[in-house]
């Protein structure tokens, strides 16, 4: 750096040091505080809106999930009907007068055959459940010895 350049740098340096300094408006801090308060109010309002939105969304989710669960068939419904059928069968077999009408035995065999066929082809619950219900009705009729209702079963 030449002497001339060095002197110019020094001159420039002293020049910037001579720049005047000014004070900001004394009311600036109160304006900032006011703006800050306004921002905080808006932020709280926004947070409240977001919280309300989330609460509503959560509520909707709960309602949707509960409705979904109600509308879904119980996965063990076939098993329930099957278990009930087995219980009826045990009851019927335990009865002393277990000499049923041969026609009734034939109907039970027919229903069992239908059930077996349905299971073999992988039938849906919607098809299996009515068959189990039918079987249960037949067993109930046997237990109650209500031959008139058995005729309905024979229409299968």
Partner 1 sequence: MGADGLPTRVNAGFGQPLDALVLQRAKRGDSAAMEAIFRLYSRPCYNLALRILGESAAAEDVVQDVFLRMMDTIKGFRGDAPFGAWLKRMTANATIDVVRRNRRFDSDDAEARISNIESGQVSAESGVDAWSLLMQLSPRARAVVLLHEMEGYTHKELSELFGQSESYSKSVLARALKRIGTLAGDDEE
Q: Is 47 a residue that touches partner 1 (CB under 8 A)?
A: no
H helix or E strand, kind and range, residue 43: helix 28-71
Burial of 1 (0-12, 13-18, 19+ CB in 10 A): exposed
To partner 1, the closest distance from the beta carbon of 19 in angstroms equals 5
106 is a contact residue toward partner 1 (CB under 8 A): no
Closest to partner 1 by CB, 5 vs 120, is: 5
Alpha-carbon gap, residue 52 to 13, rounded angstroms: 59
CB-CB neighbours of 140 under 10 Å:
16
67 binds partner 1 (CB under 8 A): no
3-class DSSP state for residue 91? Answer: helix
Task: Find the part of the chain contacting partner 1 (CB under 8 A) among 33-41, 65-73, 88-96, 131-139.
Answer: 33-41
Question: Which residue among 32, 55, 57, 62 contacts partner 1 (CB under 8 A)?
Answer: 32
Report the residue number, 29 or 119, with the smaller CB distance to partner 1.
29
| Token pair listed for 123 | 């039938």
Q: What is the CA radius of gyration of the chain?
A: 44
107: how many CB neighbours lie within 10 A of its CB? Answer: 24
CB of 32 to partner 1, least distance (A): 5
Q: Does the protein bind partner 1 through residue 42 (CB under 8 A)?
A: no
Q: Which range binds partner 1 by CB under 8 A, 22-30, 88-96, 107-115, 117-125?
A: 22-30
The Cα 131–Cα 143 span in angstroms is 18
Contacting residues toward partner 1, per CB under 8 A:
1, 4, 7-13, 15-25, 28-29, 31-33, 35-36, 39
């Amino acid at each position: 750096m030449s002497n001339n350049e060095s002197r110019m740098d020094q001159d420039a340096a002293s020049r910037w040091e001579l720049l005047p300094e000014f004070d900001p408006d004394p009311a600036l801090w109160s304006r900032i505080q006011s703006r800050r308060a306004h921002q905080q109010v808006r932020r709280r309002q926004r947070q409240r809106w977001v919280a309300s939105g989330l609460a509503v969304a959560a509520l909707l989710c709960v309602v949707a999930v509960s409705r979904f669960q109600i509308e879904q068939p119980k996965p063990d419904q076939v098993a329930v009907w099957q278990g009930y059928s087995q219980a009826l069968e045990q009851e019927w077999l335990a009865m002393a007068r277990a000499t049923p009408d041969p026609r009734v035995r034939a109907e039970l065999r027919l229903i069992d055959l239908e059930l077996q066929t349905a299971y073999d082809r992988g039938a849906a619950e919607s098809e299996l459940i009515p068959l189990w219900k039918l079987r249960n009705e037949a067993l109930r009729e046997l237990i109650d010895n209500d031959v008139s209702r058995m005729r309905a079963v024979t229409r299968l």
